[in-house]
Amino acid sequence: MDHLGRTREPFEIPFVVLAKHQYDHLGFHDFPNRMGYDPATLYKVTVLHGWTREDLVSFWQSWLFFGMVIDVMKTVNITVTTDDLVRNTQDGRAVLTTETTAISLA
């Protein structure tokens, strides 16, 4: 992540959010309910309720990264969108970034 400073071995975290899991800016706490997850079972890795691994990873990244960053920044009146937190690499892959003007100003 860009805000962590430089490391010997740079790393990039792929953007894996599916369109159906895009963070909706309607609040972090209720996001699982809006996505059809039962919050009481989120901690049980073995309870997938028919969700694929791709769905789960997409949901977790949308909620726990995008939702958290977007809602925390909102508390200090800074608007951040999902697009602000994704960049394309030279080879065309979408990866997470925290190197945005909005976040840098905070």
pLDDT in tens, 33-69: 998 887 777 766 555 667 788 988 999 999 999 999 9
Dmax (CA) for the chain in angstroms is 42
Question: What pLDDT score does 37 carry?
Answer: 81
The boundaries of the domain holding residue 17 are 2-105
Tokens of 103: 């976040």
The helix (H) or strand (E) run that includes residue 87 is strand 86-88
- pTM value surpassing 0.85: no
Structural domains in the chain (count): 1
Q: Where residue 28 falls among pLDDT bands split at 50, 70, 90? A: very high
